[in-house]
């Protein structure tokens, strides 16, 4: 997981992210005449991100870049299937995104500007199947981030030696002005010896210590270069914030960052031990799945990159643990320091 995974639908239930107006509201919009062929509306499924565990698509489309929107619908049995009826795709003037082409149930959009407009999908007579407001964005920065295997709380990352998968993360600004993840499926990436796994993910070859340039051509911008920096060892380890107390008999994820000059190091091998219960490495490699077996204190030892840190965490019974509201009034038990280094455009 990575920081600043922001989407315009974050404040809504996750299932609402790709729903059209009919699908989310259940009724035909007041200013539309709707087709009876899609009474449950449409889903507008956009490109996903290589470093996310929770899918909040569709994300904004970068100005000058493209994004494929796959149209699916529910015939009434609860299962989604690709739109298999003839349709027209109308971009409502295309202030933020324009329809570039259609192929079967896929509408390819091109970003225009940091604005928004409706994508309207109608039958051949103009009756609405469904519509959704989609967003264009202007590029603000590019970062190289780990994929789903590591939790990072800093925008500033470097890498341990060896081969690994990385995500090239685009951030853009919409009319609201906030920086958020942005899509350009036509992005060009050039790194010697790398394999392209998806539109935003590369499998890099084994890399030695030093800086390795990654060439990027994105949106309507000229080609640019972003360094993938590889470091030899960690300077220290810090614990990421965790809500206390831990609960006896329950598993809590406790995560750490190994750092070089305050930058999070991606790709180290982590080990965890504890004097209270169990601590096992989770699928997120820099996080321990901790399960205390008694009340009091749990000492958790984390080691990576030649460094070790011990953090003491309080443990309570579930019935006497602080409520979420009480915990919200207290600062995190452990704070992390993060540098800021990204390619700004």
Residues 6+ apart with CB under 8 A from 269: 285, 304
Backbone φ and ψ for 56, nearest 5 degrees, come out as: -115, 20
- Which fold does the domain 14-136 belong to in CATH? Immunoglobulin-like (2.60.40)
Structural contact between residues 70 and 108, judged by C-beta atoms closer than 8 angstroms: no
Please spell the DSSP secondary structure of 199-243, one letter per residue: TTEEEEEEE-SEEEEEEEE-TTSPPEEEEEEE-SS-SEEEEPP--
Backbone φ and ψ for 276, nearest 5 degrees, come out as: -145, 100
End-to-end CA distance of the chain: 23
Q: How far is the C-alpha of 167 from the C-alpha of 165, rounded, in Å?
A: 7
Unique residue bearing structure tokens 């640019």: 224
Q: Where exactly does CATH 2.60.40.1080 map onto the chain? A: 14-136, 236-328
Q: How far is the C-alpha of 218 from the C-alpha of 224, rounded, in Å?
A: 9
Neighbours of 308 (CB within 10 A): 13
Unique residue bearing structure tokens 């994105």: 218
Structural contact between residues 287 and 281, judged by C-beta atoms closer than 8 angstroms: yes
Parallel, antiparallel or unpaired: strands 263-266 and 157-159: parallel
Distances, alpha carbon 343 to alpha carbons 19, 141, 142, 192, 285, in Å: 33, 6, 5, 20, 26
- Which pLDDT score, from 0 to 100, does residue 77 have? 81
- Which fold does the domain 139-230 belong to in CATH? Immunoglobulin-like (2.60.40)
DSSP lists the bridge partners of residue 136 as 61
Q: 3-state DSSP call for residue 253?
A: strand
- Which pLDDT score, from 0 to 100, does residue 335 have? 34
- Which pLDDT score, from 0 to 100, does residue 342 have? 43
Q: 3-state DSSP call for residue 187?
A: coil
- The structural architecture, per CATH, of the domain 236-328 is Sandwich (2.60)
- Which pLDDT score, from 0 to 100, does residue 10 have? 43
Parallel, antiparallel or unpaired: strands 80-82 and 66-74: antiparallel
Low-confidence ranges of the chain (pLDDT < 50): 1-8, 10-15, 321, 324-325, 327, 331-345
Distances, alpha carbon 27 to alpha carbons 24, 75, 89, 291, in Å: 8, 15, 20, 47
DSSP lists the bridge partners of residue 195 as 203
Unique residue bearing structure tokens 């299937």: 81
| Three-class DSSP labels, 3-72 | CCCCCCCCCCCHHHCCECHHHHHCCCCCCCCECCCCCCCEEEECCCCCCCCCCCCCCCEEECCEEEEEEE
Unique residue bearing structure tokens 């800021």: 340
Which of these, 282, 279, 275, 322, lies nearest to 298 by C-alpha position? 275
> pLDDT for 171-205, tens place per residue?
999 887 777 999 999 999 999 999 999 999 999 99
Distances, alpha carbon 204 to alpha carbons 165, 179, 259, in Å: 6, 27, 21
């Amino acid at each position: 997981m990575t920081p600043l995974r922001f989407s315009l639908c974050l404040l809504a239930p996750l299932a609402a992210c790709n729903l059209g107006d009919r699908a989310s509201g259940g009724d035909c919009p007041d200013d539309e005449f709707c087709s009876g062929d899609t009474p449950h509306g449409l889903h507008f499924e956009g490109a996903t991100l290589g470093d996310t565990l929770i899918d909040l698509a569709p994300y904004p489309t970068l100005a000058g870049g493209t994004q494929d929107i796959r149209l699916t619908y529910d015939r009434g049995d609860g299962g989604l299937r690709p739109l298999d009826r003839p349709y027209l795709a109308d971009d409502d003037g295309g202030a933020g995104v324009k329809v570039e082409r259609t192929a079967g149930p896929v509408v390819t959009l091109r970003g225009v500007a940091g604005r928004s407009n409706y994508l309207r999908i109608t039958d051949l007579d103009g009756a609405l199947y469904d519509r959704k407001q989609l967003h264009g964005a202007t590029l603000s920065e590019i970062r190289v981030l780990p994929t789903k295997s590591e939790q990072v709380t800093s925008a500033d990352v470097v890498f341990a030696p060896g081969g690994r998968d990385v995500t090239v993360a685009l951030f853009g600004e919409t009319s609201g002005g906030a920086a958020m993840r942005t899509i350009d499926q036509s992005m060009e990436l050039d790194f010697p010896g790398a394999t392209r796994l998806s539109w935003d993910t590369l499998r890099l070859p084994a890399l030695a210590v030093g800086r390795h340039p990654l060439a990027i051509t994105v949106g309507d911008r000229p080609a640019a270069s972003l360094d993938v920096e590889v470091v030899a060892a960690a300077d220290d380890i810090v614990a990421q914030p965790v809500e206390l107390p831990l609960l006896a008999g329950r598993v809590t994820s406790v995560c750490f960052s190994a750092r070089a000059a305050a930058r999070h190091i991606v790709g180290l091998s982590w080990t965890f031990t504890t004097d209270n219960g169990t601590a096992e490495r989770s699928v997120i490699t820099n996080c321990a799945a901790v399960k205390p077996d008694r009340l009091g204190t749990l000492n958790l030892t984390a080691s990576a990159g030649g460094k070790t840190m011990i953090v003491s965490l309080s443990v309570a019974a579930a019935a006497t643990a602080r409520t979420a509201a009480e915990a919200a009034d207290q600062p995190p038990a452990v704070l992390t320091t993060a540098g800021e280094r990204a390619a700004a455009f």
